[in-house]
């Protein structure tokens, strides 16, 4: 169960405009009261004890709130008790049909206020992303009352450090300087840092992630911010950028999923939650046509991308070797659907063939001049410690047994049968070099150097591979 801080922070990310918060002070109580009123028309009797459905639901809700926080739980208990008492008084005076009609009317007015308030925010209501937020709405209103009177200041600081302060205060509009591209990027980077989000899905730090999010929210291509840093941004653009950053913090989804794009150098690929976000050192090798290991690029006429995921490496192979036919194999039909979209976008359908296969399982009899793979390689201990962003990715694209080498061992065992004489095997293994060299001490691994270091990818000629 999420903590009080986590729940309120998630809800607050959708509610930073004071005008929106003001409508919630009316809308949420009306909605809650409408539900209580409707439930008050039904009762449950056990022996001599008779309770309305409203009382039962309120008790259950109070137990939840008390588990989150004693103080807020008691405050919510008082609010719900008062609502139950008011509902009982109404049901005692009116027949059921008029009571239910009144409940529907109050409910509709409450929701109308909710959606009207979110027009100021430029964000949809929180419950559309997480139904549990329906229970947090009333708690948020109570928390705002506490904050107004100066209570629970540490909790208020915790929330504002993660989602920023409210944008407008009643009667005291904040004087906000004209937003620029640069100021929005710096603001976003600070928010991302404070929120403690994890990077590694296309960016390595808060500033680069902020630039990517802000530029895309403004409808600009990702790139260097410096030339346009002083450009002014209107209120609509600034609101869109802040909303996207808030969503990044709230959901912990990688920016690549929020934007449905991933970049390998200058090349853009479509991605969503069906595939791992592509990030591969092999892309650098493909741009160099795997020099110096491939001495004659024209000699590569067949290639295989094993564990293709979004199909990005298969596409880069096809572009690096224009005469080559490329097979792109993956166990996941969902991943292959994403790969198909990318292959179509690059108009390579005639040269890149998608194959549903568990490693070499469906590739019997096929051989290649070049075999590349960026397989799962996260070990069991690391899987247990993954940040939330990485847990959004398909587990099958990450986990590879106790030592992270289960897939790599199978590839090494079967690769020779699928390589032509003089063929080359290229496999990415993350930070598992030491473990692999201990496991396979007789194999003459070559470790290409990259801008980010070396030891992440190995190269082996067919003749050095074990006979399968």
For residue 21, pLDDT over 90 is answered with: no
Question: Are residues 372 and 393 located together in one domain of the fold?
Answer: yes
Q: pLDDT-based confidence at 176, cuts 50/70/90?
A: very low
Query: CA 427, CA 306: separation in Å to the nearest integer?
Result: 9
What is the pLDDT, as a whole number, of residue 184? 92
Q: Which of 98-107, 110-119, 189-198, 305-314 tops mean pLDDT?
A: 305-314
- How far apart CA 199 and CA 324 sit, in angstroms, is 35
**Secondary structure E strands in 292-407:** 302-306, 325-330, 352-356, 368-373
| Residue 161 pLDDT greater than 70, yes or no | no
Predicted confidence at residue 51, as pLDDT, reads 87
Predicted TM-score (pTM) of this structure: 0.66
Domain-located, residue 170? no
Domain co-membership, 383 together with 332: yes
Residue 44 confidence (pLDDT): 84
**What confidence tens digit (pLDDT) does each residue in 286-337 have?**
999 999 999 999 999 999 999 999 999 999 999 999 999 999 999 999 999 9
Given 127, 160, 193, which residue is the final one in a domain? 160
Q: Is the confidence at residue 132, as pLDDT, over 70?
A: no
**Cβ(232)–Cβ(178) under 8 Å?**
yes
pLDDT at 123: 58
What b/e string do you get for 316-344 counting C-beta neighbours within 10 Å, with b at 16 or more?
A: bbbbbbeebebbbbbebeebbebbeebbe
Is residue 247 a part of any domain in this protein? yes
State pLDDT tens for residues 332-351.
999 999 999 999 999 999 99
Predicted confidence (pLDDT) per residue in 54-63, tens digit:
999 999 999 9
| 425-452 pLDDT tens trace | 999 999 999 999 999 999 999 999 998 8
* pLDDT at residue 164 in the model: 55
State yes or no: pLDDT of 259 exceeds 70.
yes
Q: What angle do CA 213, 217, 218 make, to 5 degrees?
A: 120
* Model pLDDT, residue 165: 56
Q: What is the dihedral of CA 79, 85, 88, 93, to 10 degrees?
A: -120
**Within-domain flag for 334:** yes
89, pLDDT greater than 50: yes
- Mean pLDDT score, 341-366: 97
Q: Which residues are within 8 A (CB) of 204 and not within 5 positions of it... i.e. 6 or more apart?
A: none
What's the pLDDT score for residue 256?
Answer: 97
Tell me: do 273 and 389 sit in the same domain.
yes
Instruction: Establish if 165 belongs to a structural domain.
Output: no
Domain assignment present for residue 452? The answer is: yes
Q: Does residue 166 contact residue 16 with C-beta atoms inside 8 Å?
A: yes
Domains contained in the chain, number: 3
Residue 169 lies in a domain: no
* Same domain (yes/no): 144, 106: yes
- β strands within 202-276, DSSP E: 262-264, 267-269
Q: Are residues 204 and 140 in the same domain?
A: no
Q: Quick count: other Cβ atoms within 10 Å of Cβ 153?
A: 10
Average model confidence (pLDDT) for the chain? 90
Give the separation between CA 52 and CA 173, rounded to whole angstroms.
45
Does residue 15 sit within a domain? Answer: yes
Q: Looking at the structure, do residues 275 and 407 belong to the same domain, yes or no? A: yes
Q: Domain limits at 396?
A: 265-464
């Amino acid at each position: 169960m999420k903590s009080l801080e986590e729940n309120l922070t998630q809800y607050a990310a959708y509610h930073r405009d004071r005008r929106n918060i003001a409508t919630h002070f009316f809308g949420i109580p009306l909605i809650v009261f409408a539900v209580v009123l409707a439930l008050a028309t039904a009762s449950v009797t056990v022996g001599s004890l008779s309770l309305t459905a409203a009382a039962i639901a309120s008790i259950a809700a109070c137990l939840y709130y008390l588990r989150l926080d004693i103080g807020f739980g008691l405050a919510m208990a008082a609010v719900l008790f008062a609502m139950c008492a008011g509902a009982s008084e109404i049901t005692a005076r009116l027949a059921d049909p008029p009571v239910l009609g009144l409940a529907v009317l109050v409910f509709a007015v409450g929701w109308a206020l909710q959606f009207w308030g979110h027009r100021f925010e430029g964000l949809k209501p929180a419950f559309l992303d997480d139904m549990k937020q329906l229970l947090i709405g009333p708690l948020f209103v109570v928390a705002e009352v506490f904050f107004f009177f100066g209570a629970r200041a540490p909790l208020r600081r915790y929330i504002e450090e993660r989602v920023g302060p409210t944008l407008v205060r009643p009667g005291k509009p904040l004087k906000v300087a004209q937003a620029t591209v640069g100021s929005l990027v710096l603001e976003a980077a600070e928010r991302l840092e404070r929120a403690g989000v994890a990077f590694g899905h296309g960016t390595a730090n808060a500033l680069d992630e902020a630039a990517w999010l802000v530029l895309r929210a403004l409808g600009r291509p990702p790139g260097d911010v410096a030339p346009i840093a002083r450009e002014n941004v209107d209120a609509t653009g600034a609101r869109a950028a802040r909303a996207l950053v808030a969503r990044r913090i709230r959901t912990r989804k990688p920016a690549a999923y929020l934007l449905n794009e991933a970049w390998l150098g200058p090349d853009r690929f479509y991605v969503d939650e069906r595939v791992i976000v592509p990030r591969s050192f092999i892309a650098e090798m493909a741009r160099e046509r795997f020099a110096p290991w491939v001495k004659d690029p024209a000699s590569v006429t067949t290639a295989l991308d094993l564990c293709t995921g979004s199909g990005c490496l298969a596409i880069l192979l096809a572009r690096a070797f224009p005469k080559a036919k490329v097979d792109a194999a993956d166990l996941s039909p969902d991943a292959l659907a994403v790969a198909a979209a990318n292959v179509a976008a690059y108009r390579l359908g005639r040269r890149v063939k998608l194959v549903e296969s568990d490693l070499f399982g469906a590739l019997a009899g096929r051989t290649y001049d070049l075999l590349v793979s960026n397989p799962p390689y996260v070990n069991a201990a690391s899987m247990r410690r993954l940040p939330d962003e990485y847990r959004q990715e398909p587990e099958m694209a990450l986990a590879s047994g106790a030592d992270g080498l289960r897939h790599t061992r199978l590839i090494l065992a079967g690769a020779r049968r699928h390589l032509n004489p003089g063929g080359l095997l290229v496999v990415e293994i993350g930070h598992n070099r030491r473990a692999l060299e201990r496991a396979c001490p007789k194999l003459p691994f070559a470790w290409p150097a990259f801008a980010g270091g070396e030891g992440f990818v190995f190269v082996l000629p067919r003749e050095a591979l074990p006979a399968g």
